[in-house]
Amino acid sequence: MAKRLDVSDLDIYYDKFLAVQGVSMTIEPRSVTALIGPSGCGKSTFLRTLNRMHELVPNARVEGKVMMDEEDLYGPNVDPVRVRRHVGMVFQRPNPFPTMSVYDNVAAGLKLNNKRMKRSDMDELVERSLRSANLWDEVKDRLNRPGSGLSGGQQQRLCIARAIAVQPDVLLMDEPCSALDPISTGAIEDLIVELKRDYTIVIVTHNMQQAQRISDTTGFFNLKAIGEPGALVEIDATTKIFTNPGNTATEDYVSGRFG
């Protein structure tokens, strides 16, 4: 669990459109890396290349390299479905499987991967995942009720439980709190800080305070110029990015002068 990602010279295309150019960065295990930047600069696009979800868009592709420890995620014999199992994703809007129970939502990935798992082992893993997602106490008496009956914040923690049930190495989060109220947001932020003990976490956020509260490292993306692709401007310790960034565009962005 908790592997390092090493991205080098990554160019990301939607068909002929070069959306993001020349990204290189190292993402350390057992840390939270926040990706910030104005709308349209390619943060979500970049995030989706880290588990090969980008290529689910027809004709979308990348050039460059993404290494997870010693493994080239875009190597010739690598199965993208396996990559997505090892690099989990949590989305902006909580998306539990609506007709499935709370239990089955968490067990869904486990069932796909381990068809012969004993019921008692499955029960144990579902409980452990829900506990890790700080949701167990709230749902233990309604495991058989639909996941869609939970509150928005609970649904998002259910999605996090589902993502960690398969014991991924990396967890990607694309604005996981943007649909949540401040109290649910606080619960998810606390959870992210706890989860970094076991996982490598990369989160896209528009919320500067959130990036400062929960991340160790922050990467600032921006468009090179109007009509040009997005690019990584700088990446550094979060305290440095927010107090003494190396680039004036970063300073303007984090101090709210644009974006």
Q: Does 45 contact ligand ATP by CB under 6 A?
A: yes
**Taking Cα atoms as reference points, which of 113, 95, 111 lies closest to residue 103?**
111
Among 7, 25, 29, 42, binds ligand ATP (CB under 6 A): 42
Q: Does 57 bind ligand ATP (CB under 6 A)?
A: yes
Q: Which stretch binds ligand ATP (CB under 6 A): 2-10, 32-40, 70-78, 129-137?
A: 32-40
Closest to ligand ATP by CB, 10 or 150: 10
Q: Does 91 bind ligand ATP (CB under 6 A)?
A: no
CB 45 within 8 A of CB 238: no
Q: Residue 97 in contact with residue 104, Cβ under 8 Å?
A: yes
Q: In terms of CB distance, is 209 or 244 closer to ligand ATP?
A: 209
Which whole-number Å values give the CA distances from 213 to 43, 121, 187, 209, in the listed order? Answer: 19, 36, 13, 6
CA–CA separation, 120 and 125 (whole Å): 9
| Residue 179, CB-side half-sphere exposure with 13 Å CA sphere | 15
> In the chain, which residue ranges form alpha helices assigned H by DSSP?
43-49, 80-86, 102-113, 119-132, 136-139, 152-165, 182-195, 208-214, 238-243, 248-254
| Shorter beta-carbon distance to ligand ATP: residue 13 or 199 | 13
Segment interacting with ligand ATP (CB under 6 A) among 42-50, 68-76, 81-89, 112-120 = 42-50
The answer to whether residue 147 forms part of the interface with ligand ATP (CB under 6 A) is no
Of the listed pieces 35-43, 111-119, 162-170, 238-246, which binds ligand ATP according to CB under 6 A? 35-43
List interacting residues with ligand ATP (CB under 6 A): 14, 17, 19, 37, 39-45, 57, 230
